[in-house]
């Protein structure tokens, strides 16, 4: 294990729940490095976004870590604003609500200390991908835009089969990168296939042939309506993990909402910004910075008797 980059002292809310669950099921749990802006919000008990909310969180300002109604406060660049708007409309159609943003005094102090918000001439300002935005924040923490209109953030829509949802605004969830079982746990059937994705510059070659093999298909039933393409073993682990997180003190409901990245049929593949963190059942916490490291770690995991479940997208 000396070849692994061990980072035992990583700052991460509810990391002990991941270690406990990894040990309980004797699996390695991989987690995309969470946005640090959401850590305080999780500790304050805000719920995190579910499988039914596809919009991205905000990167800065008083909106940092929340899912905003307006695209201009999101982390996406201006050319992706229409996609953000579509995702918000889709969530609203499922029952999500846009509510007024109110932040705590301690959160405001944190944002000022981290230089994510600036105060000048009785106004606050922050720089987003689309440019500078200005705000008013009253003594109660209510946030208004430059025209004194309330800034709106989103709640989750109800889960499929349910009528109600948490009325509080949501922050980014914890995205599982991988669940790596041992060899004797590795026969796990996903309901949907994960088709390969053609490389852009070679797409003309594919157009001359039958593209049926590139389509998403049902293999063993349908995906879970609230968790996506996920097998039974992963559901069991996620349920146990969320119970453990609640025992550790989280007041926002589920922290993990859906299957891992390697089972996502729409995954773009490994992203250099994923920086996955792996929780080993022997108690180690491992961090990956580059894909070459990921390949090396997976080789080591295999030598230890684990069975990484490779996606064709990776």
Residue 145 has pLDDT above 80, yes or no: yes
8 and 107 housed in the same domain:
no
**Are 197 and 155 found together in one domain?**
no
> Rounded to 5 degrees, what angle do the CA atoms 135, 137, 140 make?
160
Q: What is the CATH number of the domain that holds 261?
A: 3.30.70.1720
Residue 191: is its pLDDT beyond 60? Answer: no
Residues 109 and 179 in one domain: no
Which are the contacts of 253, defined by CB distance < 8 A and separation ≥ 6? 47, 48, 166, 242
Q: Last residue of some domain: 152, 170, 188?
A: 170
Question: Of the given ranges (5-14, 45-54, 133-142, 155-164), which has the lowest mean pLDDT?
Answer: 5-14
CA–chain centroid gap for 55, Å, is 11
Q: Exposed/middle/buried for 310, CB within 10 Å: 0-12, 13-18, 19+?
A: exposed
Q: How confident is the model at residue 231 (pLDDT cuts 50, 70, 90)?
A: confident
- 143 and 73 housed in the same domain: yes
Digit-coded pLDDT (tens) for 294-305: 889 999 999 999
Residue 192 — very low, low, confident or very high, per pLDDT cuts 50/70/90? Answer: low
The pLDDT tens digits for 13-44 are: 999 999 999 999 999 999 988 888 889 999 99
Are 163 and 181 in the same domain? no
The domain that holds 143 is classified in CATH as: 3.90.1760.10
- Please tell me which residue, 198 or 188, carries the higher pLDDT value: 188
The DSSP bridge partners found for residue 30 are 178, 278
Q: Are residues 200 and 134 in the same domain?
A: no
Render pLDDT for 68-123 as a digit per residue (tens, 0 to 9).
999 999 999 999 999 999 999 999 999 999 999 999 999 999 999 999 999 987 79
Confidence (pLDDT) at 24 = 97
Domain closes at, from 170, 186, 219? 170
For the cut 50, the answer to whether the pLDDT of residue 1 exceeds it is: no
What stretch of H or E contains 128? strand 123-128
Instruction: Please indicate, yes or no, whether residues 94 and 207 belong to a single structural domain of this protein.
Output: no
Task: Determine the pLDDT at residue 271.
Answer: 73
pLDDT of residue 228: 82
Pairwise pLDDT comparison (186 vs 233), residue with the higher score: 233
At 243, the pLDDT band (50, 70, 90 cuts) reads very high
Residues 180, 310, single domain; the answer is yes
Which residues form the domain of 122?
A: 37-42+51-170
Q: Which helix (H) or strand (E) holds 144?
A: strand 143-145
> Based on the number of CB atoms within 10 Å of its own CB, is 183 exposed (0-12), middle (13-18) or buried (19 or more)?
exposed
Q: Are residues 5 and 25 in the same domain?
A: yes
Coil, strand or helix at 19: helix
220 and 107 within one domain: no
Q: Give the end of a domain, one of 154, 170, 186.
A: 170
Confidence grade of residue 158 (pLDDT, cut at 50, 70, 90): very high
User: Into how many domains does the chain fold?
Assistant: 2
Axis crossing angle, helix 15-25 with helix 232-247, rounded to the nearest 10: 140
Q: Are residues 199 and 222 in the same domain?
A: yes
- 164, pLDDT greater than 50: yes
What percent of the chain is modeled with pLDDT above 70? Answer: 82
In this structure, are 153 and 243 located in the same domain? no
Q: What is the mean pLDDT of residues 223-242?
A: 89
């Amino acid at each position: 294990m000396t070849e692994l980059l061990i980072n035992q002292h990583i700052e991460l809310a509810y990391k002990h729940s991941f270690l406990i669950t990894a040990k309980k099921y004797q699996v390695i749990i991989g987690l995309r490095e969470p946005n640090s802006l959401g850590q305080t919000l999780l500790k304050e008990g805000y719920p995190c976004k579910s499988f039914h909310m596809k919009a991205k969180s905000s990167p800065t300002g008083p909106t940092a870590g929340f899912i905003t109604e307006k695209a201009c406060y999101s982390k996406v660049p201006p050319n992706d604003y229409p996609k953000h708007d579509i995702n918000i409309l889709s969530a609203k159609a499922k029952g999500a609500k846009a509510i007024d943003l109110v932040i705590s005094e301690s959160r405001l102090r944190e944002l000022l200390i981290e230089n994510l918000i600036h105060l000048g001439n009785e106004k606050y300002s922050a720089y987003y991908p689309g440019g500078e935005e200005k705000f008013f924040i009253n003594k109660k923490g209510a946030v208004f835009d430059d025209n004194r209109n309330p800034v709106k953030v989103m709640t989750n829509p109800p889960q499929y089969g349910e009528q109600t949802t948490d009325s509080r605004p949501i922050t980014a969830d914890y995205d599982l990168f991988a669940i790596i079982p041992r060899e004797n746990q590795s026969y796990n059937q996903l309901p949907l296939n994960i088709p390969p994705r053609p490389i852009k510059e070679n797409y003309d070659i594919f157009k001359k042939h039958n593209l049926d093999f590139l389509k998403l298909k049902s293999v063993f039933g349908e995906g879970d309506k609230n968790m996506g393409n996920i097998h039974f073993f992963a559901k069991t682990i996620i349920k146990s993990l969320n119970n453990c997180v609640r025992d550790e003190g989280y007041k926002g409901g589920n922290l993990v909402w859906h299957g891992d990245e390697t089972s996502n049929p729409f995954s773009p593949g490994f992203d250099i910004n994923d920086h996955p963190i792996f929780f080993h059942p022997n108690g180690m916490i491992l961090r990956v910075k580059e894909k070459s490291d990921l390949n090396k770690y997976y080789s080591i995991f295999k030598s230890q008797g684990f069975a990484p479940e490779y996606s064709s997208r990776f």
